[in-house]
Amino acid sequence: MKIVVLVGGLSPERDVSIASGTLISNALIEKGHDVLLLDLYLGIHNRTFSPVYTNNKSDYRFSYSVPEHEPDLESIKNSVNNKSSLIGEGVIELCKEADIVFLALHGSIGENGQLQAVLELNGIRYTGTNYIGSLLAMDKDLSKKIIRANNILTPDWKYICLNKEYTLDGISYPCVVKPCSCGSSVGVNIVGNGNQLKNAIELAKKYEDAILIEDKVEGREFSVGILNNTALPVIEIKPLSGFYDYKNKYQVGLTQEICPANISEDISNLLKEKALAVHDTLRLGFYSRIDFILDKHNNAFCLEANTLPGMTPTSLLPQEAKAIGISYNDLCERIVLER
């Protein structure tokens, strides 16, 4: 198959996306597919697929490591001539030539449904969740309202829009401040008082004007991957220090990940059941990942749903698949073939 692997984009998570996409590309090359690794924002001048793809006859393999901090998006914008479009030159044309597009994007238009809608309007096949499910999952305020309406626990929260009048009355501490539509813990802070709250809001404001202030539920953190309507083994996430922030997620050795998690069968089944319920409620696609906090009373609180889970060396979904004998290469090809 001819496969475009779309990465990057103008997103705070572009480095994570590129790291995911390089490994996905390598896996698909090793499976014998013709692969083009393409940055959504930067694009490419050559609009013909054949001269630029990498196939299984090549010895070349892609490589990329996630830096400790998010990228400088302003410098990336300044490096290209056409700053007005979030889709780079030649991207749509090359995607039309491919048999399928593997979406290895995180955040921004790659995960909020906008790109999915563009691809569908152009008759382009792609992996992951469609534009409706992507929109529902990416907006944390909206997704929390939907899953709570379907009797799934989620921490209490307050939604504020910074370009409108708002108050901070009724906030309890500790709480978690996060941008409404970012992933990878970008812009997330745990705060314990009013001064810290104001500072955390200013940090989150760097990414967007819509902010969530969420009650911090104390407990153990777990994640459950979904593959083809089946819950994968539960994985427990234990950062060696602090919380599961951007650095702890993507720098090797900073977080202990245990899969299968050391929990009872009853708790495992509970988390899997809730993960499937979230997946179905938000109308997600062939694969996803659902994150939870389990409190001391064994109540499972859903934190968020991920429509395009990370596929980096430290990412959770590949570890969960490996636990039931699905190799990384096989996982990537299944996503392409079965979608």
pLDDT tens digits, residue range 226-256?
999 999 999 999 877 555 444 545 555 567 8
Q: Residue 325: inside a domain, yes or no?
A: yes
The whole domain housing 54 covers 2-127
* 59 appears as a binding residue in the annotation: no
Whether residues 208 and 222 share a domain: the answer is no
Whether residues 263 and 149 share a domain: the answer is yes
- pLDDT in the model for residue 322: 94
- pLDDT in the model for residue 147: 96
- pLDDT in the model for residue 165: 83
Whether residues 143 and 254 share a domain: the answer is yes
Chosen domain end from 215, 232, 247: 215
Mean predicted lDDT score pLDDT of the chain:
88
Active site (annotated) includes residue 63: no
Q: Residue 132: inside a domain, yes or no?
A: no
- pLDDT in the model for residue 26: 93
Overall number of domains in the chain: 3
* 202 appears as a binding residue in the annotation: no
Find the mean pLDDT for residues 315-333: 94
CATH number at residue 239: 3.30.470.20
Q: What percent of the chain has pLDDT over 70?
A: 89
Whether residues 101 and 236 share a domain: the answer is no
Does residue 12 have a pLDDT over 90?
no
The catalytically annotated residue of 11, 13, 17, 181 is 13
Chosen domain end from 215, 239, 260: 215
Find the mean pLDDT for residues 182-192: 74
Whether residues 98 and 17 share a domain: the answer is yes
The catalytically annotated residue of 184, 185, 223, 288 is 184
CATH number at residue 172: 3.30.1490.20
Does residue 36 have a pLDDT over 70?
yes
* 291 appears as a binding residue in the annotation: yes
Whole-number Å distance between alpha carbons of 7 and 18: 5
Whole-number Å distance between alpha carbons of 217 and 237: 15
pLDDT band for 298, please (50, 70, 90 cuts): very high
Whether residues 271 and 148 share a domain: the answer is yes
- pLDDT in the model for residue 286: 97
Active site (annotated) includes residue 89: no
Whether residues 14 and 122 share a domain: the answer is yes
Whether residues 207 and 243 share a domain: the answer is no
Chosen domain end from 195, 215, 235: 215
Which strands make up the sheet holding 210-215, listed edge to edge?
A: 157-161, 210-215, 175-179, 189-191
Whether residues 147 and 266 share a domain: the answer is yes
Whole-number Å distance between alpha carbons of 192 and 125: 46
Whether residues 185 and 327 share a domain: the answer is no
Q: What percent of the chain has pLDDT over 90?
A: 61
Whether residues 189 and 258 share a domain: the answer is no
- pLDDT in the model for residue 181: 79
Active site (annotated) includes residue 181: no
In the chain, beta strands by DSSP E: 2-7, 34-39, 100-103, 157-161, 175-179, 189-191, 210-215, 220-227, 230-231, 235-239, 255-258, 287-294, 300-306
- pLDDT in the model for residue 245: 47
Does residue 55 have a pLDDT over 70?
no
Does residue 323 have a pLDDT over 90?
yes
Whether residues 195 and 259 share a domain: the answer is no
